[in-house]
Amino acid sequence: MNLIIRPVARADYEQWLPLWIGYNAFYGRTGPTALADEITHTTWDRFFEESEPVHALVAEMNGKLLGLTHYLFHRSTTAIKPVCYLQDLFTDDTMRGKGIGRALINGVYERAGLAGSTRVYWFTHKTNSTAMQLYNKVADESGFVVYRKIF
Spacing of C-alpha 49 from chain mean position = 17
**Model pLDDT, residue 28:** 85
Q: What does DSSP say about strands 79-91 and 120-121: parallel, antiparallel, or unpaired?
A: parallel
User: Total domain count for the chain?
Assistant: 1
Q: Is residue 144 part of a domain?
A: no
Q: Is residue 103 part of a domain?
A: yes
Q: Is residue 146 part of a domain?
A: no
Give me the CATH number covering residue 26. 3.40.630.30
**Model pLDDT, residue 35:** 83
- Report DSSP letters for 44-93, one per residue: HHHTT-TT--EEEEEEEETTEEEEEEEEEEEEETTEEEEEEEEEEEEE-G
pLDDT, one tens digit per residue, over 34-55 is: 788 999 999 999 999 999 999 9
pTM for the model: 0.93
**Structural domain of residue 10, as residue ranges?**
3-138
Which has the minimum average pLDDT: 11-20, 79-88, 106-115, 123-132? 123-132
Q: Is residue 123 part of a domain?
A: yes
Q: Is residue 114 part of a domain?
A: yes
Q: Is residue 89 part of a domain?
A: yes
